[in-house]
């Protein structure tokens, strides 16, 4: 398995500001993902974080709004830029590793973001 931590666990932010969320995993993994879970909703994939290259974004999500970094195989960040109240959600990272973890994903505890 894999143990994932996220920072911060929660935050309250003002509209127009940006927040960077960190995701750290206890071992090297090939794949890292970022999800959004809006209040009372299911999870929606934002992007796949690629080590050493630009993230792959899903339809409806753009790099200018959600820039992602992945400098190595154990760490990634997601920034929520120019926030509005509609960005209030739980943001989760997950990891998978083709070789060791098959195609199973392990999830971090999430970052609960409230935008005022």
Interface residues toward other proteins, by CB under 8 A: 31, 33, 41-45, 48, 56, 92, 94, 96, 98, 102-110
Nearer to other proteins by Cβ, of 75 and 107: the residue is: 107
Q: What is the smallest separation between the CB atom of 16 and other proteins, expressed in angstroms? A: 28
Which two tokens mark 30? 């090939």
Q: Cβ closer to other proteins: 92 or 115?
A: 92
> Rounded to an integer, what distance in angstroms lies between the CA atom of residue 15 and that of residue 84?
5
Phi, psi of 114 (to 5 degrees): -120, 130
- Contact indicator for 84, 15 with CB cutoff of 8 Å: yes
CB 28 within 8 A of CB 74: yes
Tell the smallest beta-carbon distance from residue 86 to other proteins (Å): 19
State the nearest-atom distance from the C-beta of 82 to other proteins, in Å: 26
């Amino acid at each position: 398995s894999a143990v994932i931590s996220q920072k911060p666990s929660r935050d309250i932010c003002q509209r127009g500001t940006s927040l960077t969320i960190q995701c750290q995993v206890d071992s090297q993994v090939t794949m890292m993902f970022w999800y959004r879970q809006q209040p009372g909703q299911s999870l929606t994939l934002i992007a796949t974080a690629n080590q050493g290259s630009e993230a792959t974004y899903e339809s409806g999500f753009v790099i200018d709004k959600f820039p992602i970094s992945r400098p190595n195989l154990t760490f990634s960040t997601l920034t929520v830029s120019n926030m509005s109240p509609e960005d209030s959600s739980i943001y989760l990272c997950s990891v998978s590793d083709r070789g060791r973890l098959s195609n199973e994903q392990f999830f971090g505890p999430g970052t609960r973001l409230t935008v005022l």
